[in-house]
Amino acid sequence: MPYYMPFDELYVVLVLPALLFAMWAQFMVKSSFKKYSKQRTSNGMTGAEAANEILKQNGMSSVRIERVSGSLTDHFDPRSNVIRLSENVHDTPSVAAVGIAAHEAGHAIQYATSYAPVKLRAAIIPITNIGSSLSVPLIILGIFLEIAGLITIGIMLFGAVVVFQLITLPVEFNASRRAVSVLGKSGILSKSELPAAKKVLFAAALTYVGALVVSLAQLIRLLAIAKRRN
């Protein structure tokens, strides 16, 4: 099986370190959220109340806020115009909860103001969904059947997933910048509380960096496999 040895080495050299980084990023966001969930907001404002205040200040009363189950399952759904906050964010008067809620409100503002990267990301979601489900099966099938065209199509679809994750980075970092800015200007968090919220949001952003790094490593490995087959 000498053909497979170089790709095993690429997995160890590229993919495995990327996976370890992604795991570390996940640990950091959970750790920072747990730590600053214990820091109560000085004004007693919960995550839901903070998000509602931010939306009100931006004239976005049509956006609803709902509670969802799970931990760190918070997201903004542009299709239904709803911010969904996990229970420990929605109901908790902590700096971590307010930071996460403000971040999701930042996403709602992005859609309302037609922020270019978020519009681009939304436009490529259909092909990204196809790529995430079909890319690897097509590549494997192409290798076993020795059909170079299938391998190429699979890699192109996987590349679309990488592009989606790349576009996601400015979207997430921008939402966090909006959150920190409005939290400071509105007085929802005090100056002494803002650094903690920044740490939680930075840790959350690292998870998206980790996902991109893993996908890039996998893409390089897949390109090497295709080149080797040729």
More confident residue, 100 or 130: 100
CB 88 within 8 A of CB 172: no
Q: Is 94 helix (H, G, I), strand (E, B) or coil?
A: strand
**Residues linked to residue 64 through DSSP beta bridges, in sequence order:** 82
Q: What average pLDDT does the chain have?
A: 90
Q: Which of 33-37, 63-67, 126-130, 194-198 has the lowest mean pLDDT?
A: 126-130
With 90 as the cut, is the pLDDT of residue 33 above it?
Answer: yes
* pLDDT at 149 exceeding the cut of 60: yes
User: Does residue 35 have a pLDDT over 60?
Assistant: yes
Give backbone dihedrals phi and psi of 35, rounded to 5 degrees, phi first. Answer: -65, -50
Q: How far is CA 98 from CA 30, 60, 76, 146, 183, in A?
A: 15, 18, 15, 53, 9
Which residue, chain included where needed, has tokens 């995430």?
Answer: 132
Residue 195, classed as helix, strand or coil, is helix
SS3 of residue 40 by DSSP? strand
Comparing 160 with 140, the larger pLDDT belongs to 160
87 is catalytic: no
Q: pLDDT tens for residues 5-31? A: 445 677 888 899 999 999 999 999 999
Read off the pTM. Answer: 0.88
Q: What is the mean pLDDT of residues 35-48?
A: 95
Catalytic-labelled residue, pool 104, 146, 172, 193: 104
Q: 22 is written with which tokens?
A: 């992604």
Side chain identity at 91, as an amino acid letter? D
